[in-house]
Amino acid sequence: MVSTGIFTRWTGWTFWHRWETHCNRVPAERQWRARIMSKIVLLTQGYSNPSDAKTAAGVLRWRGSEVVGILDSECAGRTAQEMLGVGGSIPILASLDGVDADTLLIGIAPAGGVLPPEWKDVLREAIRRGMDIVSGLHYFIGDDDEFRELARRRSTRIHDVRKPPRGLTVSTNTARDAACFRVHTVGHDCGVGKLVVSVEVDRALRGRGRRSALVATGQTGMMISGGGICVDAVVSDFIAGAIEAEVLKHSGEEFVLIEGQGSLVHPLYSGVTLGLLHGCAPQAMIMCIDPKRTEVRHCDMPMPPLDQIIDHYHRMAGIICPSRVVAIAVNTFAMSGEEADAAIRSVREMTGLPATDVIRCGPDEIVDAILAEKERRERHEADDAS
C-alpha cells in the first residue's frame, strides 16, 4: 500500500497540539491513515553527520522517544549524540538484524533528493521484515513498481512525504490580508537552521500563552509537525499558492511561523525561496545564519555581506507585504562557548538587531522581537486609521 501522508503518533511528545486538535487543521487527504508509528529506525548509511543527515537530526531532536536506532554500518557501535550532536545514547546499528522496529525513515536530504542506489537492498530488507518506509526524497519510492509490489505483498506502507497534494493552483494574493501575524524564517544560505528556529520560536510563543501554529515547508518539518507541504516538490507556478493555502488554514491563530527554504542569494534554490516569501506574505522575518559560512553551499560563490542579504529580503518581501528582519538566529553548532558568544555579539553589533542561538541560548530574545514588531505594526495601523 502507498500513502503520501504524515505521522499521526504524538504520544509522549508534550509540546505539540494534541492529535485530535491537529486533525481539524490538516485536510483529510493529508492525514496519515497508517497504523501508529512507534518504533523508528533512521537510515543514514554513509551520511551520519549533522549536515547531510539533518532530517534524522530533526526527528531525533523532537521525536527521539520513538527512535530505536540509526542504521549506518560505517559508524556502528557509536551513538546518535556522537555523530549527529543530538539523540543521546540512541545506538547506531550495523544492520536490521534483531531490531524491534516498525518503520524505516530515510534520514538524509541530499541535493536533488535522489535515493542512493546502494540503499535499495536496505529498503527491500525492511519491507520484507514488515516495516513501513517513510521518505522525504524527491525520488518517490511508492512510484517504483518493485517496491510498490513488495509493499503490497507484505502489507506494509510507503509514505512519500514530499509528494504534493492534488488541486494546487496559483496564488490569489490573499495571505497578506489574513488576521494572523505571519513570521517567516529566512536565511543567507540553505542548511542554516530555519526549521529549528521555526519550531523553537513557535514552541516558545505557545509557552507564553499565545496562540501559534507552525507551517512546515519541507519533509523534516512535516515529519515532526504533522502538517504542511514540501514546497520544493511543487510546480513552480503553484509554490506561492500552495503556501498561501497553508497559511490561510491557520488564519484564526494569533501567530503563524512559516518555515523558510533555501536563500534568495542561492543559485540553486532561490526560486523556491521567492515563491515561498511571496506566498506567505510575512509581516516579520527572522534571518538565520551560520557565521562561519564564507561560501554559498553547494556552489562556488562567495557569501554576500549580511546587510546586503537582509536588504534583498526587505525589497522582495515588500513587493507583496511590507516586512522586515526583526532578529537574527545565529547557528553556533560547530563553535565553542567562547566562539559562540563572540559570534552572537558580532552579529548584534553589525546589524543592530537582537541575535541569539535558539538551541544554545534559547529563543526568548527572538520572541521578544516578534512581539515588539507586532505591537509596533498595530500602533502604526491604529494611527493610520485615526
Whether 202 and 84 share a structural domain: no
Interval 284-310 mean pLDDT = 96
pLDDT tens-place string over residues 166-181? 999 999 999 999 999 9
Helix/strand/coil for 133: strand
153-158 contacts at long range (C-beta below 8 A, 24 or more positions apart): 154/127, 154/128, 154/130, 155/1, 155/130, 156/1, 156/127, 156/130, 156/131, 156/132, 157/1, 157/2, 157/3, 157/34, 157/132, 157/133, 158/1, 158/2, 158/3, 158/132, 158/133
**What's the predicted TM-score (pTM) here?**
0.84
Residue ending a domain, choose from 104, 135, 160: 160
- Tens-place pLDDT, residues 315-370: 999 999 999 999 999 999 889 999 999 999 999 999 999 999 999 999 999 999 99
Summarised one tens digit per residue, pLDDT across range 56-103 is 999 999 999 999 999 999 999 999 999 999 999 999 999 999 999 999
CATH number at residue 97: 3.40.50.720
- Residue 37: pLDDT band (50, 70, 90) is low
pLDDT exceeds 70 at position 24: no
Same domain, yes or no: 307 and 197: yes
Rounded to the nearest integer, the mean pLDDT of the chain is 89
Q: Does 143 share its domain with 245?
A: no
Examine the domain organization and report whether 184 and 138 are in the same domain: no
Residue where one domain finishes, among candidates 112, 135, 160: 160
Domain that holds residue 8: 2-160
Residue 53 has which C-alpha cell?
543527515
Q: Does the pLDDT at position 142 exceed 60?
A: yes
Q: What is the CATH number of the domain that holds 229?
A: 3.40.50.300
Domain count for the chain: 2
Would residue 257 count as lying in a domain? yes
Does any domain span residue 165?
A: no
| pLDDT band, residue 14 (cuts 50/70/90) | very low
Q: Verify that 128 and 241 share a domain, yes or no.
A: no
What are 173-176's contacts with CB under 8 Å, separation 24+?
A: 173/244, 173/281, 173/320, 174/244, 174/248, 175/243, 175/244, 175/247, 175/248, 175/279, 175/280, 175/281, 176/281, 176/320, 176/321
* Angle, CA 99 vertex, CA 98 and CA 103 arms, to 5°: 145
Q: Is residue 295 part of a domain?
A: yes
Average pLDDT for 28-53: 72
Domain stop point among 137, 160, 183: 160
Provide the terminal-to-terminal Cα distance of the chain, rounded to the nearest Å: 60
* Whether residue 78 sits in one domain with residue 18: yes
- Give the three-class secondary structure for 285: strand
Higher pLDDT, 49 or 15: 49
- pLDDT classification of 50: cutoffs 50, 70, 90: confident
| Residue 210, C-alpha cell as written in the block | 499565545
Q: Are residues 193 and 64 in the same domain?
A: no
- Over 60: is that where the pLDDT of 140 sits? yes
Whether residue 170 is contained in a domain is answered as no
Tell me if residue 234 falls in helix, strand or coil.
Answer: coil
